[in-house]
Structure 1
């Protein structure tokens, strides 16, 4: 691995996939997803001290693994997973405030989407619905404001520093609301999340590999031998002609 090697871990059943985000290829697939099951592999992994960036979902297990075995790497939260977490928390709160409205598929589609992507007609329909519940309305627009921060990327350092007080103030508002659990998670992952503003890589590449890997498994009606599965993945998802077993 080079000094600019980008790696990411992703759960696939009971396996962990390491992906090179720079060269868009699967680096390896390792059986297990806990620190105990990955310890022997990671200790022998050559060049791990040169890894500079690791992109991951908000998994405490993988964060601890990254901190221990990749001491020089900067952890960056994956934007898709952060936005999804925010939306999941909001949908749960919506369910609590209006269980019947939550069942409406049309409203569900509007609630899930970014407000700035809605048409004027859709915005008006949503406005009329939210006007019936001031608490839900406040939560919705706070969620939209939060997502507005989360989707930003490629920011210059000065602009990112200027945005920080606003971002922290918004999280503080969530702490005083029914979304306090979300605020606690955001605070726990604050640095990796803020790094998304400067770092453009995401796990979209890995999600694509994940789909290919699931197709490989289905075509083979599952794999009884993990090593056969691993070699097939390496061959189909970026194998460079050399298979090294660490």
Structure 2
């Protein structure tokens, strides 16, 4: 196909900033998941691959000229263990930056598991059980964003309260839940404000948070260097996460693809047109 020839890989160039992630693609892809990477400055989708294992990714990237690989300075990725290893072997001048969204998402999941554990201490018919189940999203809202002025009636509570009061009532049900909540918000705030000192202090100032949060913190500590780099740069995988939604929309509009390579061609074509239009409007 002519379209497929138009999207042959340029093995002589790689950008200085690369965003890496994975997305669900076609059944013919390994595990139905594909590796994708994007130019971190222009937000141009560079390629979509039918695999994501380190051996195959190494073979793919070694096809690029050494000069191209040495040109890469920053790789932004999630907590997938594959990609930092890939950087060590393939990109000698690059540092790994852990995406902020994935750090915060890991903390939110740990807190949510803690909430469910506490919720199950109460009988399913109790007010406490229903309140913890109903207002799980409210507990994940950063404390500085909670409304403390607007009072209203809340289900499972007998009187009018502000959102801050509801959160306070829920946290008062269990001390471990409250301590875990404090750690979640302290770390999340430090990440969002790129405050490395407060990020580290949040872990050590309180040791009574839940096992679920402790396990997540151990995972974060295993990525110490990558997370440290996060606090010194402004890059994130946000543009690549946004592209995933567009890729899913392409799949829905076509009712799926049997051939991965036809799917890849369609995706790259759509993103090439989008990138050209964006450059023209700047």
Whether these two folds match at TM > 0.5 is yes
Q: Distance in 2 between matches of 1:132 and 1:58?
A: 33
Aligned position for 2:80: 59
Aligned position for 2:110: 89
Larger Rg: 2
RMSD (CA atoms): 2.3
Q: Which runs of 5+ in 1 are unaligned?
A: 154-159, 242-246
Asked whether the equivalents of residues 58 and 77 of structure 1 are also in contact (C-alpha less than 8 Å), the reply is yes
Q: Distance in 2 between matches of 1:219 and 1:16?
A: 21
Aligned position for 1:169: 201
| C-alpha displacement of 1:3 | 7.9
For residues 164-183 of structure 1, the C-alpha deviation after alignment (integer angstroms, 9 at most, x for no partner) is 3x432322356664222112
Between the two proteins, the alignment pairs up a number of residues equal to 232
| C-alpha displacement of 1:82 | 0.7
Aligned position for 1:152: 193
Q: Distance in 2 between matches of 1:50 and 1:172?
A: 38
5 Å matches for 1:108-119?
Answer: 108-119=136-147
5 Å matches for 1:1-246?
Answer: 5-13=16-24, 14-46=33-65, 47-99=68-120, 104=131, 106-120=134-148, 121-153=162-194, 163-164=196-197, 166-172=198-204, 177=209, 178=211, 179-238=213-272
Secondary structure at the aligned position of 1:238 is classed as helix
Q: Distance in 2 between matches of 1:184 and 1:71?
A: 27
| C-alpha displacement of 1:195 | 2.1
Larger displacement relative to structure 2 (175-184 or 55-64)? 175-184
Residues 138 and 176 of structure 1: is their aligned pair in 2 closer, same or farther, counting only changes over 3 Å? closer
